[in-house]
Structure 1
């Protein structure tokens, strides 16, 4: 919550809201008509278009059906061609830190994460969606990571790619580790 008591607008909610409004306007439909067809109140639709809601997939699906468009049209992000700068952030000592750096769509969903793991920590990696490939690039520290049946010892500068849809793990030694993780997941139409 903000100091004014309002829920902050997330960039995802704002992007989806803008897509809903754009597609509705492209169809020449009023907010009232779109809401009626989707089984929503006009106030709910207005909140979503303003990026202030947190719609369920079922709600987005109802809106897509009302607009006669694929659900993916509301979820797909436009390509960002400009430079993107994300300043580094400090990690809390002794805690695992995960930080989404970038999400890119282009036939695959690409997410770039920063993973910081404290010394003497083992972290189980939850299997991702079928077909996901996980790429690790070690910035600092030493880590044993990868599929549970074929882990690799990695040093700074080492890169490892493996099937992220199977059980995997990360285990640090006596020093903290900083890893850039790129998840490439297929987008199913």
Structure 2
């Protein structure tokens, strides 16, 4: 299967990774749930492989665990997660010699999609290149409207937002670099 084909998130593998990461950090189920702002029961179901988390939930869990989203996705190209009118498909992940993690995603926004993303932690930057349509990006330093062929880089250490414009869908490539 190529990354373009897309594949569902492997829920049991995700649950195992979460449990391992939580254990390595000495966090109880309650502590991680509280820090991530999700219910303890929901986290328990995710760890048991019984619940399919949204993109927002995965980001909420990645931040307190201090790992890139791709770690929760097991770095498997083609893995898709969706939320708020957005489907993100992991295309590639690698770790540079200096420890910087580089994640590359294809983003597909449905018409009117409005994706609010939580802070990803210190040392995390997003680099977005619009390939189709118009995309409004709100970040700590301001707001930009990008059209096909335009790009923007910003710190995603704070909450940020992507919004497809003109009542149409939008596509982009997102590169996330993490130096934590």
Which of the pair is proportionally richer in strand?
2
- Which runs of structure 2 are paired with 1:21-170 in the superposition (5 Å)? 54=17, 56-57=20-21, 95-106=85-96, 107-147=99-139, 149-170=141-162
Tell which has more relative contact order, 1 or 2 (C-alpha 8 A, sep 6+).
2
Q: Which residue of 1 aligns with 2:169?
A: 176
Distance between the aligned counterparts of 2:179 and 2:140, measured in 1? 22
Distance in 2, matches of 1:58 and 1:162, equals 29
Q: For the structure 1 residues 105 and 156, does the alpha-carbon distance in structure 2 shift closer, same or farther, using more than 3 Å as the test?
A: same
CA RMSD of aligned residues (A): 3.4
1:153 to 1:61, Cα distance in 2 relative to 1, 3 A: closer
User: Compared with structure 1, are the counterparts of its residues 142 and 57 closer, same or farther at alpha carbon in structure 2 (3 Å cutoff)?
Assistant: same
Structure 2, unaligned stretches of length 5 or more? Answer: 1-9, 27-70, 72-76
1:149 Cα deviation (Å)?
Answer: 4.8
Aligned pair count? 117
Partner of 1:72: none
Question: What is the CA distance between 1:8 and its match in structure 2?
Answer: 8.9
**Bigger radius of gyration, 1 or 2?**
1
TM norm structure 2: 0.54
